[in-house]
């Protein structure tokens, strides 16, 4: 029987919180918010076999498939739930074990088009303000989307926050396209990409 997968899940309706003991080592960590089929992190783990990988996915059937895909891999963990709500619970233990959270990928996040749904977006002023209190300033976010309006509105949010060191870039990070990216590129869409972290605006 095929599994029913909802097209979108309102993250504000998912209130389950998780805890994580950390990986028990200080290896650098890559994080994927909305990992979907997991091919991006799977390929990245081949390039960085000594890193640890944290994957968040809000849709249960997809998270279950991710668990199967990464089964038996001690350096990869999957969390089913809202990445925003669980971000600190899951990442902070790794930092306490001496690990650097190297990059957090927000690849093709749900855009939530309507004004009244904007608070469901992953990158929001509230999220950035909360995160800046505990996430080391060296950690970089990588944000990619084919939605120009979402990209521009996110830049505005960042510029009003402590995460205003923004660097725009043109090609897929590490030469790896996500599933969503491949689909959008084959439709002829432009992809908008940036990295951002805490700090001042860059002069460019
Ligand atoms: C448009 S898809 C992009 C998937 C993948 N990142 C890619 O680039 O191929 C967005 C994914 O993020 C997941 N998602 C959306 N909001 C989330 C949240 N708050 N926490 C965790 N996952 C989320 C969705 O279920 C979906 O799999």
DSSP for 97-109, written as a single string: TT--EEEEEEES-
Average pLDDT over residues 130-147: 97
Stretch (H or E) spanning 79: strand 76-80
56 lines ligand 1 (CB under 6 A): yes
The architecture of the domain spanning 29-197 is 3-Layer(aba) Sandwich (3.40)
What are the counts of helices (DSSP H) followed by strands (DSSP E) for the chain?
6, 7
Spatial contact of 184 and 146, defined as CB atoms under 8 Å apart: yes
Are 105 and 181 spatial neighbours (Cβ–Cβ below 8 Å)? no
The pLDDT of residue 116 is: 84
Between the CA of 105 and the centroid of ligand 1 the distance, in Å, is 11
Whether 192 lines ligand 1, by a CB cut-off of 6 Å, is no
Neighbours of 52 (CB within 10 A): 25
DSSP H helices in 60-178: 60-69, 83-96, 125-132, 148-159
What is the average pLDDT across 188-193? 98
Which ligand 1 atom minimizes the distance to the CA of 62?
Answer: 27
Confidence of residue 204 (pLDDT cuts 50, 70, 90): low
Q: How far is the CA of 40 from the centre of ligand 1 (A)?
A: 12
Q: Which residue has the higher pLDDT, 4 or 18?
A: 18
**Cβ of residue 29 lying under 6 Å from some atom of ligand 1:** no
pLDDT tens track for 26-83: 999 999 999 999 999 999 999 999 999 999 999 999 999 999 999 999 999 999 999 9
Q: How far is the CA of 122 from the centre of ligand 1 (A)?
A: 10
0.85 exceeded by pTM: yes
Residues contacting residue 150 through CB under 8 Å, at least 6 positions apart: 109, 111, 121
pLDDT (0 to 100) of residue 9: 75
User: Could you tell me if the CB of 184 is within 6 A of ligand 1?
Assistant: no
Residues counted in the chain: 204
Q: Identify which of 109, 113, 118, 179 to mutate to test ligand 1's pocket (most ligand atoms within 8 A of the CB).
A: 109
Q: Report the 10 Å Cβ neighbour count for 156.
A: 10
Q: Which residue has the higher pLDDT, 115 or 190?
A: 190
Please list, in sequence order, all residues whose beta carbon lies within 8 angstroms of the beta carbon of residue 123, skipping any fewer than 6 positions away.
106, 109, 141, 143, 154, 157, 158
State which of 36, 104, 141, 151 you would mutate to test the pocket of ligand 1, scoring each by most atoms of that ligand within 8 A of its C-beta.
36
Tell me the Cα Rg of the chain.
16
Look at ligand 1, atom 14, and give the residue with the nearest C-alpha: 34
Compute φ and ψ for 51, nearest 5 degrees. Answer: -85, 165
Of the pLDDT bands very low, low, confident and very high (cuts 50, 70, 90), residue 1 is: very low
C-alpha to C-alpha distance for 75 and 164, rounded to whole angstroms: 31
CB 36 less than 6 A from any atom of ligand 1? yes
Sequence-ordered list of residues with C-beta below 8 angstroms from that of 198, at least 6 positions apart, any chain: 132, 135, 137, 162, 163, 165
Q: Report which protein residue has its CA nearest ligand 1's atom 3.
A: 108
Residue 128 has which token pair? Answer: 């950035």
């Amino acid at each position: 029987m095929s599994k029913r997968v909802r097209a979108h899940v309102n993250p504000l309706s998912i209130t389950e919180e998780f805890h994580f003991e950390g990986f028990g080592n200080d290896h650098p960590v890559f994080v994927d918010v909305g990992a979907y089929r997991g091919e991006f992190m799977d390929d990245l783990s081949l390039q960085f076999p000594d890193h640890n990988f944290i994957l968040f996915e809000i849709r249960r059937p997809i998270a279950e498939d991710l668990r199967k895909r990464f089964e038996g891999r001690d350096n990869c963990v999957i969390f089913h739930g809202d990445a925003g709500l669980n971000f600190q619970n899951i990442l902070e233990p790794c930092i306490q074990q001496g690990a650097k959270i190297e990059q957090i990928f927000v690849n093709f996040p749900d855009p939530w088009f309507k004004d009244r749904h904007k608070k469901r977006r992953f990158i929001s002023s509230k999220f950035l303000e909360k995160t800046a209190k505990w996430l080391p300033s060296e950690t970089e976010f990588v944000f990619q989307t084919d939605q120009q309006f979402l990209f521009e509105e996110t830049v505005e949010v960042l510029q009003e926050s402590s995460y205003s060191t923004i660097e725009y870039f043109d090609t897929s990070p590490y030469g790896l396209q996500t599933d969503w990216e491949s689909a959008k590129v084959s439709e002829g869409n432009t992809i908008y990409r940036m990295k951002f972290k805490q700090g001042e605006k860059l002069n460019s």
